[in-house]
Structure 1
Amino acid sequence: MGRYTRSRSNSAERLGFASVSTFERLLIPAPPEWRNVYGLPDYPAYDALETLTWVAAHTQRVRLVTGVLISLFEAPVVLARRLATLDHLSAGRVVAGIGQGWMPEEFAAVGVPARRRGAGFEEHLAAMRACWAPDPVECDGPRYPIPRSKIGPKPVNGRIPVLIGGVAPAAIARAARLGDGFIAVCRDWESCRGADHVLSGGGRGRSDRPAGRPDAGGRPTRHRADRLDRAKRDGRSGPGRSGRRGRGHLGSQHRRPRSPPSGRRPNGARREAHGLSRRRDDVSPSDACRRRYRRRRCPLRR
């Protein structure tokens, strides 16, 4: 699995993707008491931050996004230090995608109350940002008090961007009010437009915080909704072009412009170098071309 993760992350960086992301899933309740109506994968998920640490060691440029961590499962001081440590090890490439969680079984397993988690999430985020701010750090919140102290390491660039994920309208409004961006989870056609409407209302008309940050691999929700509408009218299953899930779904802002390799010759020059004429109806392979062909077909003769 480690080799697979490294290969995928290296390919993402080579192809010009802006980021790679991991998610957190502590457990999946077992049947028959629980029905997997949400389509969750039936295999265990690696720890998100440890996986991104592995990716950071094998990449140079791509951003490292947690999409998303359930922040309430750890004390804000602990999670803030873990994120800042990875930010240092990766030269400032960390983007913290966090959410408040939804599965009661996970909260029971870690001993954290699931009630009023929205208010607890806001205080938790404020405490983490205080840990990233200059020393001395002090928080007097009722849930996560931090005595006056020095806490490090600090983020490389002074702060870590925070993206907030969610589905419920209250979570989307909270993302617009508190986050640097929003990780959209759109399950149907209507939820895409609904998310953008709630986000705009919760953000008090702040157009500088679009849903889905391009540098985190996201796409503004209104653009996604428009593309889904076009796909629906065209009878396609998704927003990709011609049924291709990869490049059709990948926006131009997520691909690095690729220049042709230096010294590359035009098609005609390459064909002549291989002993082929420019005209398709007059192909005359050279002896060197025949030898290369035989070596490819018969590797044992080399």
Structure 2
Amino acid sequence: MGIGSGADPDVIAATARHAEDRGFATLWCGEHVVMVDQPSSRYPYTPDGQIAVPVDADWLDPLACLGFAAAHSSTIRLATGVLLLPEHNPVIMAKQVASLDRLSKGRFTLGVGIGWSRDEFDALGVPFSRRAERTAAYLEAMRALWSTEVATVESDFVSFRDVRVNPKPTQSHVPVILGGNSDRALMRVAEWSDGWYGFNLDGLDHVADRLATLRSYCAERDRAMSDMRIAVALRDPRDAELGDLEHLGVDELVIVESPPDSADAVEEWIADLAQRWIDR
């Protein structure tokens, strides 16, 4: 949700209601603050290095979009897939995430990425270098603010002392999953996230390879794969792969499809998706 036709409020509301009614697990919303006509960075999730979203498409702020969806649903989970954490102030983001988790009554999963577009970082005045370290430091600070009444954090990227940020999230531990398909990304998953979101993977063999790499990194750090939430989006998903994905350890298959332009067409669109993926 949140992109193109999925940025229309009536479409968002209808999607939230009907997806919940038909038993879908999660509503996902990604993020880009800016887009440029001629990017200097290669998009890492397609063979040609080009992002499929038109540069002039509407792209809602993901937390605002999910907050709106939360008001039109009651049980379906909400997730960013992904929010570009190093582009945000971590203290403000801690409050925004906690607020969304409160308003949704504990339904939020924070999916984060370190970002790939140098142009976007430049536009925001954020250094592109060391963005992975910045992401880890920001997340550490946010977790401190969520779990501690009076928090103090000092690092290369964050510095505050004896501050209070309320409200606290409804969930005692807000799940944080990390995007990225590279070995380095999977190493970061094993080091400090609660799960992995693999995006635009090229079939079962690619999923199996990436999960084997993640499993090895977790073993090196005495982390159990069973404690992690694994979500994947496939470049070409097929009905017959659902059981195979579950066997590999995947918890959730994310269906990347644009909603229709009209809210009146959403119910039929969701019904068709449910017939293909749920009513089996």
TM-score normalised by the chain length of structure 2: 0.74
SS in 1 for 2:31: coil
Counterpart Cα distance in 2 of 1:194 and 1:32: 30
1:46 has 2:60 as partner: yes
Map residues 150-165 of structure 1 onto 2, 5 A cutoff. Answer: 150-165=164-179
Is residue 62–residue 93 contact of structure 1 (8 Å, CA) maintained in 2? yes
Is residue 101–residue 169 contact of structure 2 (8 Å, CA) maintained in 1? yes
Structure 1 unaligned regions, length at least 5: 232-239, 258-302
Task: Quote the offset at 1:194 in angstroms.
Answer: 2.6
Is residue 186–residue 192 contact of structure 1 (8 Å, CA) maintained in 2? no
**Per chain length, whose mean CA-contact separation is higher, i.e. which structure has more relative contact order (CA < 8 Å, sep 6+)?**
2
Is residue 78–residue 108 contact of structure 2 (8 Å, CA) maintained in 1? yes
Map residues 54-203 of structure 1 onto 2, 5 A cutoff. Answer: 54-189=68-203, 190-203=205-218
Task: Quote the offset at 1:25 in angstroms.
Answer: 1.4
Deviation sequence 1:242-300 (CA, Å, 0-9, x none): xxx935873xxxx599xxxxxxxxxxxxxxxxxxxxxxxxxxxxxxxxxxxxxxxxxxx
Task: Quote the offset at 1:187 in angstroms.
Answer: 3.4
Counterpart Cα distance in 1 of 2:152 and 2:244: 51
SS in 2 for 1:204: helix
Structure 2 unaligned regions, length at least 5: 1-7, 44-48, 246-254, 256-271
SS in 1 for 2:20: helix
Task: Quote the offset at 1:134 in angstroms.
Answer: 2.2
Counterpart Cα distance in 1 of 2:193 and 2:233: 15
Task: Quote the offset at 1:227 in angstroms.
Answer: 2.8
Task: Quote the offset at 1:229 in angstroms.
Answer: 12
Task: Quote the offset at 1:228 in angstroms.
Answer: 8.8
SS in 2 for 1:122: helix
SS in 1 for 2:209: helix
Q: Which residue of 2 aligns with 1:297?
A: none
Kindly indicate which of the two structures has a greater share of residues assigned to strand: 2
1:204 has 2:216 as partner: no
Tell me: CA distance 1:100–1:249, structure 2 relative to 1, closer, same or farther (3 Å).
farther
Is residue 107–residue 113 contact of structure 1 (8 Å, CA) maintained in 2? yes
Counterpart Cα distance in 2 of 1:182 and 1:16: 22
Tell me: CA distance 1:220–1:49, structure 2 relative to 1, closer, same or farther (3 Å).
closer
Counterpart Cα distance in 2 of 1:33 and 1:126: 30
Counterpart Cα distance in 2 of 1:35 and 1:149: 39
Counterpart Cα distance in 2 of 1:135 and 1:104: 36
Counterpart Cα distance in 1 of 2:96 and 2:145: 11
Tell me: CA distance 1:97–1:34, structure 2 relative to 1, closer, same or farther (3 Å).
closer
Deviation sequence 1:130-162 (CA, Å, 0-9, x none): 110121111011211121122211111222111
TM-score normalised by the chain length of structure 1: 0.69
Counterpart Cα distance in 2 of 1:52 and 1:81: 15
Is residue 138–residue 147 contact of structure 1 (8 Å, CA) maintained in 2? yes
Task: Quote the offset at 1:27 in angstroms.
Answer: 2.3
Report how many aligned residue pairs link the two structures.
236
Tell me: CA distance 1:141–1:9, structure 2 relative to 1, closer, same or farther (3 Å).
same
Q: CA RMSD in A?
A: 3.3
Tell me: CA distance 1:158–1:105, structure 2 relative to 1, closer, same or farther (3 Å).
same
Counterpart Cα distance in 2 of 1:210 and 1:151: 28
1:14 has 2:26 as partner: no
In terms of mean alpha carbon deviation, does 199-208 or 26-35 score higher? Answer: 26-35
Tell me: CA distance 1:35–1:107, structure 2 relative to 1, closer, same or farther (3 Å).
closer
Tell me: CA distance 1:79–1:34, structure 2 relative to 1, closer, same or farther (3 Å).
closer
Q: Quick one: which amino acid aligns to residue 195 of structure 1?
A: R
Say which one has the larger Rg.
1
Task: Quote the offset at 1:85 in angstroms.
Answer: 0.5
Counterpart Cα distance in 2 of 1:32 and 1:171: 22
Deviation sequence 1:84-128 (CA, Å, 0-9, x none): 011111111111111111111111111110111111111111111
